[in-house]
Amino acid sequence: METYKFDKSYEWFERACKVIPGGVIGHKHPAFTVPGSYPYFASRGEGSHYWDPDGNEFIDWMCGFGPMVLGYNNPVVDAAAQEQAKLGDGMSHPGPISIEYAEMMVKLTKGMDWCVYGKNGADITTWCMRLAREYTGRKKILIVRGAYHGAQAWSTPSYGGIIDEDRTHVHFFEWNNLDSFMELINTYKGQVAGVMMTPYHHCIYADQQMPAPGWWETIGKVCKQEDLILISDDVRAGFRLDMAGSHAYFGYEPDLVCYSKAIANTYPISAGLGTSKLKETAEHVLFTGTFFSSMVPMAASIATVKELKRLDGVNYMMKIGKALCDGLVSVGKSNGFEIIMSGPYDIPFMRFAREKNFMLKQLFSGEAAIRGVIFHPHHNWFTSCAHTEEDVKKSLEVADIAFKKVKDKYGSD
Amino acid sequence: METYKFDKSYEWFERACKVIPGGVIGHKHPAFTVPGSYPYFASRGEGSHYWDPDGNEFIDWMCGFGPMVLGYNNPVVDAAAQEQAKLGDGMSHPGPISIEYAEMMVKLTKGMDWCVYGKNGADITTWCMRLAREYTGRKKILIVRGAYHGAQAWSTPSYGGIIDEDRTHVHFFEWNNLDSFMELINTYKGQVAGVMMTPYHHCIYADQQMPAPGWWETIGKVCKQEDLILISDDVRAGFRLDMAGSHAYFGYEPDLVCYSKAIANTYPISAGLGTSKLKETAEHVLFTGTFFSSMVPMAASIATVKELKRLDGVNYMMKIGKALCDGLVSVGKSNGFEIIMSGPYDIPFMRFAREKNFMLKQLFSGEAAIRGVIFHPHHNWFTSCAHTEEDVKKSLEVADIAFKKVKDKYGSD
């Protein structure tokens, strides 16, 4: 099998570095994958595939880091967006579509009574934190160590540009560790405004952790007892576990739910939903931005929800994800490797059982990328409704070669 | 002249209030205009006009609160966006267009060496604040009282959901008041990271203030002496004073420039530009979001810049704005009112000279709105390249009627 070259990507990257700090900003920076074995830019997408500037074609198990659920350039979603674009997008008022959108999201999401719309996931998570503070009159927010709630100063996983005061009242507990949670609850009795958590723990550089039996039940009970606002950050998992919200999937009852990513199949929108007790407070915590009421992404989101329902999308993404995950474990085993797949089938994270430093995983992922299959070495992957059994078959064939390359260099288990 | 009814707007608003806190979030809320005399929603836009759900047509002097500079549904910008959309928008890497975009912005903007891209204006202003802190190792940020830098906790003009720690190191001085600026500089000697300012003072509910002679020169000199990062928040004024940046217009030399709103004619994008001394630091203050690298808004922005240049857009917007502003002063005078227009002609703010509580202005604006002309009662307005002399003529005819209504109720000066 011919392997890919990335000459044009590197040429673009050299140009990029002259005018963009690091050449690519944020989580899509090449240093986060395996520099030298990955494309650095995407030129075109279609369904579950994309093409880089060198003309190489890839099966994309990253789905744009989540937002693509129905395939790049999905004709149904794009047609709905175009229809709205003919009328208008960003104007001096919201459109009636903002109401249809909120009505749809409220009806869709279990236990929620109202909806606001923004651009970034972090617009919503940050506002929800402030809403919890305003409602309770208390300052402290509890979050899980290693959880990602956006790159704002209070929650960024990076170190630059943070001052102590950004986190004076943000406290960390460990996922699935009730003692660490209760220690904060007891230490800061009467001072805690809310708890922000993802539905399951999708950390990076480590196995994902599903909720232990009773975990959510206890969290919910304590939040009710202590009158804390429970915020479900469903930005990453939303629409891949349950269309009614990942809290419906795991059976907990949040006061606020944060959505973005998958809800509009790559169109830029985020949404926050809440229960009626917080509605009046929500009016008093100013939430605004020039593009928050843009109408085209709302039309795209409405179409995305319809399509996901029509296709039974969550089940399909789970099914195709299971085929990929089971296949990787099996192909890994046939090459002498124990492979750990963690997290939901459609948001999976892969690890070689014997390693903790990702040398094997990086080699594996790089060898797959130069053969047209995008597995991320350090971040969870995503499946979509556009991924086919043929994609899985091709991906496993490439994985087989990649496992052999790892065996050649590092030996099997 | 038949006046407009807003029955459908109110019906939609009633529905909206059931599922959206306040019915409309943020700065587009009807309470910010004159409830009862304005449409609450926009259904369709074309050029400088829009239509509400009742089918009423309006000349829009708000331009979507700034982003519309070439007209709603501008065919050139929309075609460029569509061309890019066919290739891809939000994908697993940025597109080569991110580089072309950064190159264009760097070339365009006076004194700037690099560019990053985001979604909201506040994404950029907030990140620039953090960048100044990281670069200097100091905490304090000085801003002008009453300036708007977005609705994040450190800068929101509202009161909800803020804790003391959000602003421990944000200090306020008065526009055009050097003593108040120097007092902060001297009080916090060696502790100030940066100064964030808009090019001129576009407060709300008050006359806009242009920089006094020597103001920017002194600010620049002090920032250099004290080694402070000077951040120009050009989100609102950008592309309406000078395509090279409003700092080029007023002659100051910022270290960082923040853009959003007008740069892509309503497509959602923001951009931050900086000088080379900050480039390495910029790599270490994580700036990221799922939709930051979306390609369609970049294509729209490139097309917007080309069109604004081709049309000599800034001069046109100034010219049409001058016709409107001069006309309003003149029509006001003929009705016995002294009218104060403040700020640039294409970002004007109107006030009745004799009043400070906006009762006259609200009546005036409401009477204009029910006759098809959107003047905002409390916020500055915007002009665009799509506004015509016919729009001005019609607007002044309506203004004449509105002034007479004010005279009937409150008497002339």
pLDDT, one tens digit per residue, over B17-32 is 999 999 999 999 999 9
Banded pLDDT at B52 (limits 50, 70, 90):
very high
- Specify if B27 maps to a domain: yes
Nearest CB to B67 within list A64, A122, A290? A290
For every residue of B74-128, DSSP letters joined together read: -HHHHHHHHHHHHH-SS-SS--HHHHHHHHHHHHHSTT--EEEEESSHHHHHHHH
State the CATH number of the domain containing residue A228.
Answer: 3.40.640.10
- Specify if B131 maps to a domain: yes
Average pLDDT over residues B259-266: 98
A404 forms bridges with which residues in the sheet? none
What pLDDT, on the 0 to 100 scale, is given for residue A159?
85
Q: Is the CB of B268 less than 8 angstroms away from the CB of A268?
A: yes
Q: Judge contact between A38 and A368, C-beta under 8 A.
A: no
Phi, psi of A261 (to 5 degrees): 45, -105
Q: Which two tokens stand for residue B236?
A: 């609102």
- Specify if A2 maps to a domain: no
Q: Which two tokens stand for residue B206?
A: 């008050």
Which DSSP state fits B255? Answer: S
Q: Does A257 lie in the same domain as A284? A: yes
Q: Is the CB of A88 less than 8 angstroms away from the CB of B133?
A: no
Place of tokens 């857009």: B313
Q: Is the CB of A288 less than 8 angstroms away from the CB of B12?
A: no
**Average pLDDT of chain B?**
97
Q: Does B142 lie in the same domain as B17? A: no
The minimum CA-CA distance between B231 and chain A, rounded to whole Å, is 15
Nearest CB to B165 within list A106, A168, A282? A168
Residues of A in contact with B139 (CB under 8 A): 163, 165
pLDDT at position B306 over 90: yes
State the CATH number of the domain containing residue A11.
Answer: 3.90.1150.10
Q: Most B CBs within 10 Å: which of A70, A74, A158, A290, as the mutation test of the B interface?
A: A290
Q: Which two tokens stand for residue A228?
A: 């804390």
Residues of A in contact with B15 (CB under 8 A): 99, 103
The minimum CA-CA distance between B213 and chain A, rounded to whole Å, is 32
Q: Most A CBs within 10 Å: which of B70, B74, B290, B375, as the mutation test of the A interface?
A: B290
- Which of B278, B310, B342 corresponds to the end of one domain? B310
For A57-61, A156-160, B235-239, B249-253, which range has the lowest pLDDT when averaged over its residues? A156-160
What pLDDT, on the 0 to 100 scale, is given for residue B195?
98
Q: Is the CB of A169 less than 8 angstroms away from the CB of B169?
A: no
Q: Is the CB of B120 less than 8 angstroms away from the CB of A115?
A: no
Instruction: Say how many domains are in chain B.
Output: 2
Q: What Rg do the C-alpha atoms of chain A give, in angstroms?
A: 22
- Specify if A80 maps to a domain: yes
**Long-range pairs for B182-186: beta carbons < 8 A, 24 or more residues apart:** B182/B222, B184/B142, B185/B142, B185/B222, B185/B226
Domain residues for the domain of B326 are: 7-70+312-410
User: pLDDT digit string (tens) for B116-162?
Assistant: 999 999 999 999 999 999 999 999 999 999 999 999 999 999 889 99
User: pLDDT digit string (tens) for B201-217?
Assistant: 998 889 999 999 999 99
The minimum CA-CA distance between B412 and chain A, rounded to whole Å, is 31
Average pLDDT over residues B178-183: 98
Q: Is the CB of B41 less than 8 angstroms away from the CB of A161?
A: no
pLDDT at position B1 over 80: no
What pLDDT, on the 0 to 100 scale, is given for residue A260?
98
What pLDDT, on the 0 to 100 scale, is given for residue A1?
76
Q: Within 10 A of B274 (CB to CB), how many other CB atoms are there? A: 27
Three-state SS string over chain A comes to CCCCCCHHHHHHHHHHHHHCCCCCCHHHCHHHCCCCCCCCCCCEEEECEEECCCCCEEEECCCCCCCCCCCECCHHHHHHHHHHHHHCCCCCCCCHHHHHHHHHHHHHCCCCCEEEEECCHHHHHHHHHHHHHHHHCCCEEEEECCCCCCCCCCCCCCCCCCCHHHHCCEEEECCCCHHHHHHHHHHCCCCEEEEEECCCECCCCCCCECCCCCHHHHHHHHHHHHCCEEEEECCCCCCCCCCCCHHHHHCCCCCEEEECHHHHCCCCCEEEEECHHHHHHHHHCCCCCCCCCCHHHHHHHHHHHHHHHHCCHHHHHHHHHHHHHHHHHHHHHHCCCCEEEECCCCCCEEEECCCCCCHHHHHHHHHHHCCCEECCCCCCCCCCCCCCHHHHHHHHHHHHHHHHHHHHHHCCC
C-alpha closest to that of A198 among A161, A152, A252, A156: A252
Phi, psi of B85 (to 5 degrees): -60, -35
Residues of A in contact with B24 (CB under 8 A): 93-94, 98, 293
Q: Is the CB of A21 less than 8 angstroms away from the CB of B283?
A: yes
Q: Does B230 lie in the same domain as B128? A: yes
CA distance A185 to A395: 46
Q: Judge contact between A212 and A176, C-beta under 8 A.
A: yes
User: Average pLDDT per run of 10 along chain A, which is 413 residues long?
Assistant: 94 98 96 92 98 98 98 98 97 98 98 98 98 98 97 94 97 98 98 98 93 98 98 98 98 98 98 98 97 98 98 98 98 98 98 94 98 97 98 98 98 97
Residues of A in contact with B156 (CB under 8 A): 286
Give the residue from chain B lying closest to A150, CA to CA.
B289
Q: Does B316 lie in the same domain as B304? A: no
CA distance B386 to A144: 51
Q: Which two tokens stand for residue B257?
A: 């420039």
Banded pLDDT at B379 (limits 50, 70, 90):
very high
Which residues contact residue B289 at a Cβ distance below 8 angstroms, ignoring those fewer than 6 apart? Answer: A26, A119, A120, A121, A122, A150, A151, B118, B119, B123
Residues of A in contact with B115 (CB under 8 A): 19-20
Q: Most B CBs within 10 Å: which of A91, A120, A138, as the mutation test of the B interface?
A: A91
What pLDDT, on the 0 to 100 scale, is given for residue A125?
98
Q: Most A CBs within 10 Å: which of B13, B14, B25, B48, as the mutation test of the A interface?
A: B25
Residues of A in contact with B157 (CB under 8 A): 286
Q: Does B94 lie in the same domain as B200? A: yes
Residues of B in contact with A16 (CB under 8 A): 98-99, 102
What pLDDT, on the 0 to 100 scale, is given for residue A41?
98
CA distances from B280 to A101, A206, B135, B192, B272 (A): 42, 29, 9, 20, 15
- Specify if A1 maps to a domain: no
Q: Is the CB of B93 less than 8 angstroms away from the CB of A39?
A: yes
Q: Does A252 lie in the same domain as A114? A: yes
User: By percentage, how much of chain A surpasses pLDDT 90?
Assistant: 97
Q: Does B145 lie in the same domain as B18? A: no
Average pLDDT over residues B227-242: 98
Q: Is the CB of A90 less than 8 angstroms away from the CB of B15?
A: no
- Specify if A286 maps to a domain: yes
Q: Does A135 lie in the same domain as A267? A: yes
Q: Is the CB of A90 less than 8 angstroms away from the CB of B68?
A: yes
Q: Within 10 A of B176 (CB to CB), how many other CB atoms are there? A: 17
Q: Does A363 lie in the same domain as A234? A: no
Give the residue from chain A lying closest to B282, CA to CA.
A21
C-alpha closest to that of A328 among A341, A315, A316, A319: A341
Q: Does B84 lie in the same domain as B66? A: no
pLDDT at position B45 over 80: yes
Q: Is the CB of A98 less than 8 angstroms away from the CB of B131?
A: no
Q: Does A225 lie in the same domain as A118? A: yes
Average pLDDT over residues B274-292: 97
Q: Does B276 lie in the same domain as B225? A: yes
Nearest CB to A66 within list B93, B169, B290? B290
Residues of A in contact with B159 (CB under 8 A): 284
Count how many pairs of residues, chain A against chain B, have C-beta atoms within 8 Å: 329
CA distance A194 to A281: 14
The minimum CA-CA distance between A62 and chain B, rounded to whole Å, is 6
- Specify if B2 maps to a domain: no
The minimum CA-CA distance between A323 and chain B, rounded to whole Å, is 22
Place of tokens 């890019």: B84
- Which of A260, A292, A310 corresponds to the end of one domain? A310
- Which of B255, B275, B310 corresponds to the end of one domain? B310
Residues of A in contact with B64 (CB under 8 A): 90-92, 290
Q: Is the CB of A268 less than 8 angstroms away from the CB of B90?
A: yes
Give the residue from chain B lying closest to A159, CA to CA.
B285
- Specify if B264 maps to a domain: yes
Nearest CB to A120 within list B28, B102, B289? B289
